[in-house]
Amino acid sequence: MARRPLPRILSDRGAHLARGRELARTAADSATDILHPLITIARGLRRLASAGRRRVADTPKDRRGALLFLVASVLMVVLLLPYGPLLATVSLMAAAAWQGRDRAPTAPEGPDESQTRRLKSLYDALVPYFSSAGAPDPLYAHGGSWEKAFPAYEFDGTGRITHLVIAYPAYYTDGEAESRARIEHLLAAKSGRGREYRFAWDEEGNQLTVRVLAPLPADIAAQRFVTSPGETVLGFTDPAQVRRTLPVVHGGERRDVPPVVWRTGIRSTEPHLLAVGQPGSGTSTLLRSVALQALRHGDVVIVDGGGTGEYACLTGRDGVLAVECEPAGVVESLRWAAHETERRLIAANRAHRAGDPPPEDTKRPLWILLDRPSAFTHLAAADGREDPQSLLQVPLRHGRPANVTVVVADQLDSLEALSDAVRQHTRARVVLGPATPEQVTAVLGAPPHTTPLDDVPAGRGYARLGTGPVHRLQVPATPNPYDDTAGAGHRQAVLDLLPARSAQDGARREPERTVPEAGPVRGAPADTVFMDKHSTEKEPVEKKPADPAATDETVAEAHAAHSADADKAAPEPVPMEAAAAESS
């Protein structure tokens, strides 16, 4: 059965509405042009009346009678004169028209002399790159005009460029990174150093847009951000880069700022994070900020390779399973984390097979935070012991389905010491502190669209989540609360976010060992006594004997199922060998 077409009044409704809006807009503009003299006179009369009221209010009370008598006498004389009322009306309308005129200063058309010199200098600097000897009508030529090359421009109060649109020839190789880098470096040098510029290349329209970026706020203290479980605020970025804002308290008032939100959990495609930077760039600050946010909904294991006590404030807190800074304790904690990941995988796999929801003890997130693990790698190699990074293979590969998240922070000059598992499975990347564009590109997998700063504040850098865009990043101020050199307000903000002390009153809290119900954990000694993590009396848990072959088969099946799922959902890893070669 053929469909009958809609009536014309219904099918053309959008066109009628658009035409009606256009007619209404045209009529309003015409009425404004016609009534402009009346609007001006009415505005002038209002201003004259306001001036008269102010004059009467400013006159002392003992002189107001004389003033009223003078005004009445003038009105009487005007009424008695021939054509007096007509002349008075014309004079009043003329005065009202003069008072009601638009007094806004007219903006000068075009740039002034200093701005013209700056644009001319910038045009001459671009001529060697954009000119061609065989072009019939060259856009860029020695002694040419800059008006066609720069269709739009803006200047600040100091006479420096804040926004510039540059038209370039179609034959320029704008698809090559080297060609773009040359132009961006030249524009940053000629437009004024000490500022951060963002470059947007329109290859289809042959236009380059240069915009000066405002500095990111570097004094936003750590606080409870309005996020849902599984969301972590890495820092703040430009408003044009993200579609979401968060309310924060900054400078004693509430304001909305655009955040860089990292999502973890079962549905995440970037379940693990790698942060690198120079010494003092703020990687430890980032880890403290992540730890404080993770403790709201999960448990945390911290490995401190710096040995400076940056995480001493978290020792003995609720949810902090361990803060390790010794090689033996680090190996023991990471081995327990690997066993815990396997236990969660087996428990979740059994629940899936039975058609039941995952157990509650597998839903609580477990965070493994490592600060400078390369330091323990060197110590392990010197002593001939096991490398702690080798124990991260299971949490990194199978952590997403097990609700286990790994965050690694290290220095740029130690990238070659990171294991292959860390490089392949950390698809959320952060680069903090001063770094060359080549180093940023090697770590993030994509070049930044802004120029680097000469003076980089702590916690300032770039972030990229998976295959997304590169964002400017400013980490919230989260200093060590025991550091006297930090600001008192920022230290107090961190103290307010710390969880309460555990029942052991600050004593060292060992990670609790748990095993799957089917049998012992693979790799554990036969005489190891495991404690039930959710037991309140902390008594040894009696385990039923199980067939070792069946246990190995269950673990292998769980690993195979979750490995296939992770390989399908995750993108290709970002190579980092170029960064290691650059730093070495």
Instruction: Tell me the C-alpha to C-alpha distance, in Å, between residue 429 and each of 60, 283, 415.
Output: 74, 12, 13
Which of 371, 370, 372, 345 is closest to 359 using CA atoms? 345
Cα 531 from Cα 137, distance rounded (Å): 82
What size, in residues, is the chain?
A: 584
Helices (H), 248-356: 283-294, 327-354
- According to the annotation, is 279 in a ligand binding site? yes
What tokens appear for 236 in the block? 């703040």
Please provide residue 411's backbone torsions phi and psi, each rounded to the nearest 5 degrees.
Answer: -95, 160
Which of 196, 186, 276 is closest to 583 using CA atoms? 276
- According to the annotation, is 502 in a ligand binding site? no
Which of 330, 405, 401 is closest to 365 using CA atoms? 405
- According to the annotation, is 278 in a ligand binding site? yes
Cα 290 from Cα 430, distance rounded (Å): 13
Handedness of CA 422, 425, 426, 427 (dihedral sign): positive
- According to the annotation, is 114 in a ligand binding site? no
Other CB atoms within 10 Å distance of the CB of residue 114: 10
Which of 345, 463, 327, 317 is closest to 404 using CA atoms? 345
CA angle 555, 521, 331 (to 5 degrees): 115
List of residues 6+ apart from 15 with CB closer than 8 A: none
Residues paired with 450 in a beta bridge = 198
Contact 213, 472 (CB under 8 A): yes
- According to the annotation, is 545 in a ligand binding site? no
Instruction: Tell me the C-alpha to C-alpha distance, in Å, between residue 555 and each of 338, 421, 544.
Output: 13, 20, 17
> What is the Rg, in whole angstroms, of the alpha carbon atoms belonging to the chain?
35
Contact 444, 574 (CB under 8 A): yes
* Burial tier of 533 (Cβ tally within 10 Å: 0-12, 13-18, 19+): middle
Other CB atoms within 10 Å distance of the CB of residue 32: 10
- According to the annotation, is 399 in a ligand binding site? no
Which of 161, 178, 166 is closest to 206 using CA atoms? 166
- According to the annotation, is 284 in a ligand binding site? yes
Task: Decide the pairing of beta strands 161-167 and 207-213.
Answer: antiparallel
Which of 368, 235, 367 is closest to 294 using CA atoms? 367
19 residue type, one letter: R
383 residue type, one letter: D
What DSSP string runs through 192-226? -TTSEEEEEEETTTTEEEEEEEPPPPS-PBP----
Task: Decide the pairing of beta strands 253-257 and 246-250.
Answer: antiparallel
- According to the annotation, is 277 in a ligand binding site? yes
What tokens appear for 154 in the block? 């803006």
From the annotation, which residues make up the binding site for ATP? 277-284
From the annotation, which residues make up the binding site? 277-284
